[in-house]
Amino acid sequence: MTKTLLNLLEKKASSHGLLLRLKIGHPLSLWTFRVVVAETIDTKRIKVLGEMKGWAYNKEKGLQLDTMQVRPSSRAGVGSLIWAATMAWALENTSCRYARLLAVNDEDQYHSKLLRYFRLRGFVVVKEVGSSALDLPLRTVWGGAGSLMVARCSDVYERSIYALQKRNL
């Protein structure tokens, strides 16, 4: 039996005292997912350190990333672990080879930070989503205006693994 990338990441997380969990829903021809990294507080409680939510449909460009959050007090590497696990799942279980997300433009300074962060992960801006009528479908899906960004799942995975190795996680 071969070990999947996701199983290897789960074992790596466990060896560092972290829980890596993936919850998948599959209504109709759509996947919904939530990737969570947590640490055990005691036998009945955990503390969520970070998570990513999104959905995917069975197309090469079908991975849609919606929410990425990491607690400021989390140890280094939690974000990279979430990114790696998300991309590993997509590459191994879907036909998605590209991921897209919206870097929300609520505040100029915060938007710049988001763009920098996502570019480090391998994303590039493909469209500015604004207030035109043509942008209405994208604004409805993503919930606002901002920079629509795309990346190859394999590139995001590789960059995340590299970041994890640099942090010895």
**pLDDT digit string, tens, across residues 90-112:** 999 999 999 999 999 888 788 99
In this prediction, residue 151 carries a pLDDT of 97
Domains of the chain: 5-166 (3.40.630.30)
pLDDT-based confidence at 51, cuts 50/70/90?
very high
pLDDT > 90: percent of the chain: 70
- Give helix 78-93 / helix 5-15 axis angle, nearest 10°: 160
In the chain the beta strands, taken as DSSP E runs, fall at 18-25, 30-42, 45-57, 63-70, 98-104, 124-129, 146-152
**pLDDT beyond 50 at 14:** yes
Kindly indicate the confidence band of residue 3, based on its pLDDT and cuts at 50, 70 and 90. low
Task: Give the N- to C-terminal CA distance of the chain in Å, as an integer.
Answer: 25
Report the pLDDT value the prediction gives residue 1, as an integer from 0 to 100: 35
How high is the mean pLDDT of the chain? 91
Answer whether residue 2 shows pLDDT above 70. no
For tokens 């693994």, the residue is 161
